[in-house]
Amino acid sequence: MDMRSGALGLLLGLAVAQAQPPAPQPPPQGIPPQVKLGQRVEATRRAASASETLIIVRDAASYIEAISRWTPTRRFPVLIDDGTLESRDHIALFARAFAPKQTLRWSKDGNTEAPFSEAGFARIDVTALTTAQSRAWGLVGEHPSDEALLAHWKASGHQPPGVVVIGLDDPAWTAGLALAAGRGQPLVFVKARQGIDSTFGAPETDALLRAIELGAESTGLPWRGLGDSLDAVTLCLNTPNRYDTGKEALAMSDRIGRLGDAATPTQRWAWCGQIFGSPARAAYWAMCSLFLQPDSSWVFDGYPDTPPWNTFDGAKVADYSKRVGFNTELLDSPRGGAADWRARVARPVGAGLIFVNTKGNDDFFDLEPGQCKPGDVPILSTPAAAVFVHSWSALSAGKRDRICGRWLERGVFLYMGSVHEPFLQGFVPTPVVAARLLSGAPFGAAVRNEPAPWWKITVLGDPLYTVGPMAKRVADAPIFDGARDVQEHLRDLLTAEDFSPAMTAMSLAGRDADVARLASALIATRPHKLTPEVAACAVLPLFRAGETADVWKAFARLAPASQRDPIYRDALWLSAGPLLDGRPDEPLLTLLKANTRSYQGLRDAMLLARAWQSTLGMDSALAMLRDIRARLPDAKSQEELDLATRAPPEGWGR
């Protein structure tokens, strides 16, 4: 018995003991539905081995065909390279965590050099998706029917844990196909308005609820109560994540899965999570959920050690994590302030589970003491699931200049946050969430108070993600005719000193550490080879390797358009953060001045001004602020900067 199994009963007992439902309830009979659901999901996950091959595609037909080659006993991850910095960084994140023996580019038509094709992802081919899912479960025939698949599941003893909802014109279907095929869940197709950061009203909500419930009913499986068969709804839609009551916003992922109409929900029949975004991002979320398991946690507790805040004590979270053998990093009082945060995020966070307690809005988070901004969200070195106890953080989940959006851009594939002011009691205490997750409860159920009315906590990602041991790995590689190993020409590229494609190939194969070593060697001995294209491949690997000075040197060699890329600018500012509490060199100050971030220009300016004053004096610092003031986007920001400069320099940017 491993440490996780031995601690299971203990943590489950802690989770049950510490949970405080709103009203007294009869004692549970038998296994709680959350645990029962988790056991079913884990049984399906562990029944399939994972091939040590990562497939990368660039078009919809290849993605569908690749997933159709899964079997109930062997699967392999399939990711989409859409050519953006985000998608390639997410592939690199996944590859570092999954550690494939080989990473292959493949195209159904044989053209692995073709650029990303958006057209196929915009058109939903229902027959192609349902056929691919059926084939992944061993059904043959040109177009197996839904009825045949349900009968096949019944005959094989598989009980679907939920339904997966896909929009007929929504690009997040890539996650839906993978999670339906990987977990054995019926697909439900709907038509719904997109706009993740907008709100639903009653008519649209009722229409979506009815469509989902009709889909569940059409399966012939029990679904109307927890603990029957269908206990989850995975919403793979870019639809609004909140509902407007006229007075406040409530989370749609907490509404879906309850009976009743939009305005008067009754009991819960399923736990819901929502996946949104581009085809590449949605596929990344699904593959992380299906193929990755955490073995470490990062806990930052920005709450005071007084009631009621200490109910969310990060030290207890860390203790539970250690009991199951996780490598655990805890930052807690007296190391729970903004300066502590900035010092820590100057290097990457590599934990698979992240727990953070803060206060604030969707564009800042207060710590004890001090305040941080979305740009202070850490760069990750592995995909992560995040529990973020903080008011408003998911109000605008689709915007990178807000807290939740920044976590998702960084590579978080599963997120709990709030779409409005939930009050502290709206959250399940962080130690309880940790104990539930580490006991095997699915994420979507672990973060919910039960029973509780419809409220403001949202789940973004696969609600059925469970924490357990990695699936069995097998070297048996899937056969993809015409596939090309991303590193097949690596030796030739390095010999020819064609470093940009060589670094790209290494990153896609999960070898960021090797990219960083190569980049540092070039900077030290052959700086003329650090072209703008090479520098663009080097900045993030250098950051993740902790080569701070080389991050700045690589950033300085970027093309002007790349220097304006917000992901690269974040790497620059995060790596420089601790130095801004001291006396940094003038070249770094000048580089930072030229690259303040528009969405938090005032905060950047004041942090920079404090360091500038320490190094170059007050007159020079004020002159620098005047230059930045002219670049601020609006009069309000300019007025706030004027007010901030009247404070003592030691308070600037705190």
Tens digits of per-residue pLDDT, 132-176? 999 999 998 767 788 999 999 999 999 999 999 999 999 999 999
Q: Which two tokens stand for residue 56?
A: 């990368």
| Neighbouring residues of 441: CB distance < 8 A, sequence distance ≥ 6 | 15, 34, 35, 37, 38, 466
**pLDDT-based confidence at 654, cuts 50/70/90?**
low
Task: Please tell me the distance from the alpha carbon of residue 421 to that of residue 117, in angstroms, as a whole number.
Answer: 40
Give the residue-averaged pLDDT of 301-306: 94
Q: What is the DSSP letter of 509?
A: T
Q: Which two tokens stand for residue 457?
A: 């906590």
How is the chain split into domains, by residue range?
Answer: 48-287, 294-458, 512-651
Question: Is the predicted pLDDT of residue 633 greater than 90, yes or no?
Answer: no
The residue type at 133: Q
319-375 pLDDT, tens digit each: 999 999 999 999 998 999 999 999 999 999 999 999 999 999 999 999 999 999 999
456-500 pLDDT, tens digit each: 999 999 999 999 999 899 988 889 999 999 999 999 999 999 999
**pLDDT-based confidence at 640, cuts 50/70/90?**
confident
Looking at the structure, give the CATH architecture of the domain made up of residues 294-458: 3-Layer(aba) Sandwich (3.40)
**pLDDT-based confidence at 4, cuts 50/70/90?**
low
DSSP character string of 235-255: EE--S-SEEE-SS-EEEHHHH
H/E run at residue 639: helix 635-644
Q: Which two tokens stand for residue 485?
A: 């190993």
What pLDDT does residue 19 have? Answer: 42
Q: List Cα–Cα distances, 517 to 220, 503, 521, 635, in angstroms.
A: 57, 11, 6, 45
Give the residue-averaged pLDDT of 261-287: 95
91-136 pLDDT, tens digit each: 999 999 999 999 999 999 999 999 998 888 988 899 999 999 999 9
Q: Which two tokens stand for residue 76?
A: 């392999």
Q: Dihedral of the CA atoms 246, 249, 251, 256 (nearest 10)?
A: 0
536-576 pLDDT, tens digit each: 999 999 999 999 999 999 999 999 999 999 999 999 999 99
Mean pLDDT over each residue of the chain, to the nearest integer: 92
Q: What is the pTM of this model?
A: 0.94
Q: What is the DSSP letter of 409?
A: H
Task: Please tell me the distance from the alpha carbon of residue 542 to that of residue 539, in angstroms, as a whole number.
Answer: 5
Give the residue-averaged pLDDT of 603-619: 91
